[in-house]
Chains A and B, each alone.
Chain A
């Protein structure tokens, strides 16, 4: 029998005795018809590894100990995975128990993906706020905040486990989820939080082509090549946040629309292109336009529109914000917009030198 810690490379055939740590099923359809496959995590006292089973006994459940005979190991998404197919044999050992050493692949924040649901990450816990909640008659506390490393920031939540503000920590067993196009992680009683020491991470500056997931606390730079014609001073429904063209929101006619200032534009940096939106705070900092001081008149709207075009179109900018996955692909929400000055050029140059070297 092979131990999981001994699996170092692809293998056509091996035998394992393992505990089913997690198992989920999913339906598929191909040329040969429909079917169901199973996937999850298996483990033993030496470690854990993901698995996919094309054939799997329906009686086998999570926490069961099984013998997997003649299974194979192949790399998938650059990570080794055990495969159980029609040549394999799955033997349930109902009387056996097994202690599993949970092991997690270490990820940087920017590489987090829901393809790997449980991971280890190292970074700083910040912005923690606690909130009471009630579920199934029981009361609990959820801690919400952020977790950042040198590659970016994600939202962090913890159900029950208190999080210490400013703690530099390694979290093993953090669960990765996606919510409204943004990656987030959560910890529970099975996660292990260990204090670690590392230098204070700087805000990372990326080339557009490097952005892959919805993460925040990052910077990108480029030249604004197109600015949306509807950028500028608008009215917005305070309830649904949609733009209001007339006097009232069609869906919320009882709400009084409020003024808002925003821009959306296309940013290019020679490596790729991305759609960017910038809200009133970002606009105030960059253009000097304060939505509270503007009147929603045709003249003012025209004047604001011209100013937005003048400040963005053809101009190089540095943006601080978050990448968000949407139906149209990856977008960027700018929280701060800065002109490209000598300091920015110096940072871009060191990023590029580091990459080239």
Chain B
């Protein structure tokens, strides 16, 4: 650090797991001790990220805890070890279980395999319990941020000599303009269509998750109050839930989720019982 200069905290980037997953470019670092920046296909220069998601799997060992945390379009792979600087985060992660909704702020670490594959792991610095509002808020903000970058990339691709100033004059922020230039430089001709499709559906997907989560409690109550000794019939569940204004698709998704979380099991074909 230059004497007299104030060290500025690296802000966290809000990106979807899919944007990170499709990343193929990592900056070279001259200092082995410093984790390099990752450049995503949307040009986001990432070292620290923040995301909100559901823990879909978690496995804890003495030395480390690994978790898969899903956002609306994919999954982040999180690893907290019991080393001195991350033991608190391991303990925090260990306090959660499958199905919990969490906000994670963490450092991005990359691993390139001999075959050339690139994999990313998030080392958490902060983990907070989240709720549906937090998830929807994060999804909307992240989706909007990504969509603006995508539009800036399209504009930059039209320019003969792409410059940040030209994009700023079009109404993009300096950061969005620089993201677009990085995308054009490091991912020339890349097909962003699948990523764009995934991102454009993210908010709708988060809303579905919210609806499903809300339906879970109602569904559990229906199964628990069933007096059928063979287990509550799927048709009866559906009839009760539709009577409460819940659609069939939501019932199916909530039923699957409750099964995954271990709250409900299928006694026999299409008959369910709560644990």
A interface residue numbers (CB < 8 A to B): 209-210, 221, 223, 225, 266, 268-273, 313-316, 328, 339-342, 344-345, 348-349, 352-353, 355-356
Contact = CB atoms under 8 A, between A and B. Distances in A.
A271 B175 contact: yes
Contact of B128 (A269, A313, A328): A313
Contacts of A271: 141, 145, 173, 175
A261 B30 CA distance: 46
Contacts of B134: 223, 315-316, 340
Contacts of A355: 144, 148
B202 interface: no
Given A209-B175, A340-B133, A269 B144 contact: no
Contact of B141 (A266, A341, A342, A352): A352
Contacts of B221: none
Nearest to A275: B9
B11 A272 contact: yes
Nearest to A225: B105
B209 interface: no
Contacts of A269: 14, 141
B140 A352 contact: yes
A272 B175 contact: yes
Interface string B112-155: 00000000000000101110011011101111110110010000
B6 interface: yes
19 contacts: A209-B173, A209-B175, A210-B173, A266-B9, A268-B12, A270-B13, A270-B50, A270-B138, A270-B141, A273-B11, A314-B103, A314-B130, A315-B128, A316-B134, A340-B133, A345-B136, A348-B141, A355-B148, A356-B144
Nearest to B144: A352
B50 A345 contact: no
B92 to A, nearest CB: 11
Interface residues of B, number: 30
Contacts, number: 77
Contact of A314 (B14, B128, B137): B128
A272 B133 CA distance: 21
The 4 closest A-B CB pairs, nearest first, are A314-B128, A270-B14, A352-B144, A273-B11
Interface in B2-16: 6, 9, 11-14
Contact of A345 (B130, B140, B142): B140
Contacts of A221: 137
A349 B140 contact: yes
Contacts of A316: 133-134, 137-138
A270 B142 contact: yes
B162 to A, nearest CB: 20
Nearest to A317: B137
A221 B14 CA distance: 14
A314 B126 contact: yes
B136 A356 contact: no
B105 A342 contact: no
A281 to B, nearest CB: 24
Contact of B12 (A225, A344, A345, A352): A225
A317 B137 CA distance: 10
B184 to A, nearest CB: 20
B14 A328 contact: no
A345 B173 contact: no
Contact of B137 (A272, A328, A348, A356): A348
A340 B131 CA distance: 10
A345 B133 contact: yes
A23 to B, nearest CB: 31
Contacts of A268: 11-12, 14, 50
